Chains A and B, each alone.
Chain A
Amino acid sequence: MTYALVRPRYLSLDAFAAAAGLHPELVARLAALGLLEPSVDARGIRWFRAADLAVAARIHRLHTGLPLNYAAIGVVLDLLDRIDELEATLRRRSWISTD
C-alpha cells in the first residue's frame, strides 16, 4: 500500500475534464464505472484527485491501443496496480535472499 505524504490536490469534474482533455460526460461515465474514484463532499459534489489524470491517460491508452472496453479496463487497471505492488515487494525482498 502507498500512502500520500502530501495532501492531494482535488479538481472539480469540469476542471478535471479540461485538464485530461476529456468531455465532462465521459469523466462522469468513467466515475460511474468506478474507473475514476472521486470523493464526494457534504454538498454531494464530486472531487477528482489531480493525480488521477495519469489514470485517465492510461484508460485512454488502453481504450484506444488494445482496444478494451471500459469494463475490461477496470480489471486491467486493478491488475496493473497489483503487479506494480508485487514487483515493488519483490524488489525489496530480492536483496534479502541474495546474501
Chain B
Amino acid sequence: MADGTDFYEVLGVPRDADAEQIQRAYRTLARRHHPDVNKSPGAEDRFKKINEAYAVLSDPKSRRKYDRFGEAWRQVPDDYEQAGARAGARAGGGGAGFGSFGGFGGPREYSSRAGGGIDVEDLLESLYGRRSGRARGYGPSPGADTEAEITISVEDAYHGVRRRITLPDPNGQPRQYDVNIPAGVTEGQRIRLAGQGSSGAGGGPPGDLYLVVHLAPHPRYHVEGRDIIVDLPVAPWEAALGATAPLETPGGAVQVRVPTGSSCGRRLRLRGRGLPNPRGNPGDLFVTVKIVVPTRLPEEERRLFEQLAKVSSFEPRGAS
C-alpha cells in the first residue's frame, strides 16, 4: 500500500508530533482529499494513504512499532514487547483488524466512537451488519466518480479526434488513456470513461472517470453551443455590390454569397455548418460581415472614393 511513503510525511507532521497534531492533520487532509469532495483522479489514492497513515499513527501501539521498525512494522508480531496487549486494542473494532483494513474508514473511528456515548446508527449497523471484516453494515459500494479536463481545438471538436492523455489511476500511478473524442463535442460536455473512476469498496464496482471538454480559444472561430461564428472580411465594394467570397470553415472551404448592400456586422447563416450533433441537428455557421478598408489607398482609388463621396446621397447616420 504505502510503498516507500513515510506515514509522517503523508500526514505532513513531524516525527515527534503529539496525538492532537496528528488528528488535526488527518482531519484536514481527509476533508480535502475525500473522493466525493475532490474529483481529481489522484485524490482517492491520496485519501487511502492518509487513512492508512492515520490508522497506524493514531494508535500508540502501532505507532511505536512503526517508529521502531519503519516499513517492516507489519511483519513484526504484536507481542514483540509483551504478549497479551493485543486483545484490548482490537476489542471494539468489529473485526476490522489492521490486516483486513480496506481503503475507506479507519478502524480507529469505530472504536473511538464506541467509547463515547452510544451511537444509534452504529448500534443498528453492528446489530444488522453481516460479514465480518467490514467495520460497518454496508456491503459492496461503488466508487466515486472522478473528473479531469481536456482541451481540444475547434477543428478537433468538429471532426472528432483520438487523444492520449496521462492521468493518475486509482492507485496513484500514471496511466495512459486513449480517448476517442467523438465529432461534435461542445464546451463543457463530459465524456464518460466507464469504470475508470475511484475503485469501489468491498468488491463494489469502480466509479466512472469523466473528461470535461474545453474548446481552446481559436483566433477565428468563436463557438456558442454548437454554432460557430466567424468573421468574413470584405472590401467596401464587395459589401455594397454583393460578392461571393471563399471562407475557411472547420468543415472545409466554402463559398459565401454576400448579398448586395451588406453592412458591417450583418450575419449570414450557413445552416448545418456548425459543430455536428450526434443526436440531432448540427449547429449553424454564422458569418459576420466585416468591412475592411486598405490603410493606404493608391492615388487612383483614392480619387474614385472621393468621386463616390461627392456623388453619393447615402446618409449612414440616418436622417437626423
Residues of A within 8 A of B (CB): 20-23, 25-26, 29, 53-54, 56-58, 60-67, 69-70, 76, 80, 88, 91-92, 94-96, 98-99
Contacts and interface: CB of A to CB of B under 8 A. Distances in A.
Given A66-B30, A80-B37, A95-B215, A61 B139 contact: no
A69 B202 CA distance: 21
Contacts of B36: 58, 61-62, 65, 76, 80
B138 interface: yes
Contacts of A25: 124, 128
Contact of B139 (A20, A65, A92, A95): A20
Contact of B137 (A23, A54, A57, A91): A23
Contacts of B217: 98-99
B204 A66 contact: no
Nearest to A89: B188
B30 A65 contact: yes
Contacts of A20: 138-139, 141
B263 to A, nearest CB: 22
Contacts of B224: 95-96
A21 B121 contact: no
Interface in B111-146: 113, 121, 124-125, 128-129, 135-145
B202 A65 contact: no
Interface string B13-56: 00000000000000000110011110000000001000100000
Contacts of B139: 20-22
B67 interface: no
Nearest to A91: B188
B18 to A, nearest CB: 22
B243 interface: no
Contacts of B47: 65
Given A21-B204, A64-B135, A54 B187 contact: no
A26 to B, nearest CB: 6
A87 to B, nearest CB: 9
Closest 7 CB pairs of A and B: A21-B139, A64-B105, A91-B188, A23-B128, A57-B141, A57-B142, A60-B141
A61 B121 contact: no
B34 A62 contact: yes
Nearest to A56: B141
Contacts of A76: 36
13 contacts: A20-B141, A21-B139, A21-B202, A26-B125, A53-B142, A54-B142, A57-B143, A61-B201, A65-B51, A66-B34, A94-B188, A99-B217, A99-B222
Given A23-B125, A65-B104, A96-B224, 6 more contacts: A58-B36, A61-B141, A62-B34, A64-B138, A69-B121, A92-B188
Contacts of A70: 121
A60 B31 contact: no
B109 interface: yes
A54 to B, nearest CB: 6
A58 B141 CA distance: 9
Contacts of A92: 187-188
Contacts of A22: 137-139
B223 interface: yes
